Structure 1
């Protein structure tokens, strides 16, 4: 029988009451939002701060389903990445660790071919 040395015990981290976007993250999201509003693509937004995720929803008009949701899920930090862009149909368009990289999938919507 082999005796294992005692491992270092780390106390569990306190669970936050809610997840929110910090100033840098919100700045990147609102910069994209401003460009899309100027292009006439987006008109309204909503933010939700829940226990396990923060969501920035983008709308074409106020009374409809969101076109896109930008989600922050800290529990997925070590897996697929805590940021994701979700389409209207629930499909994940992009996921990753770096918010500006994830938001690039929406910036491509601004680039249109010239007729």
Structure 2
């Protein structure tokens, strides 16, 4: 009999997004994909930070990074949305509130006849 792989266990040395956080991020991501703005994403789980990066094309640099840094939780807030040029667009304690900064990027001007 072969030994089965042990069940998945979270690595305590890495920061990760929990299910609710990932659901909120993927909700925003889905809206941008439906609008044709974003086409790819990547996730990185490191010792100090979890990063969700979004891309217009897979071969480009990320347009935005959504970061979770638990060490900043008490000060500035654990969550941040960072633009391609490194500017922090929004930082805070509530992920859904921080993600709202992206809503203005989705609104487009509509030409009227």
Place the TM-score, normalised by the shorter chain, in its bin: 0.7 to 0.9
Shift of 1:38: 0.2
Following the alignment from structure 1 to structure 2, what is the Cα–Cα distance between the partners of residues 70 and 87?
A: 9
Following the alignment from structure 1 to structure 2, what is the Cα–Cα distance between the partners of residues 32 and 108?
A: 12
Other structure's SS at 1:93 match? strand
Which ranges in structure 2 are unaligned for 5 or more consecutive residues? 1-11
- Structure 1 length as normaliser, TM-score? 0.85
Matches within 5 A, 1:67-106: 67-106=63-102
Deviations 1:1-26 (A, max 9, x none): xxxxxxxxxxxxxxx31000000000
Q: Which runs of 4+ in 1 moved over 6 A?
A: none
Name 1:31's counterpart in structure 2.
27
- Structure 2 length as normaliser, TM-score? 0.87
Of 44, 47, 54, the match for 1:48: 44
Of 8, 15, 31, the match for 1:19: 15
**Larger Cα-atom Rg:** 1
When the two chains are superposed, the root-mean-square deviation of aligned CA atoms in Å is: 0.6
Which ranges in structure 1 are unaligned for 5 or more consecutive residues? 1-15
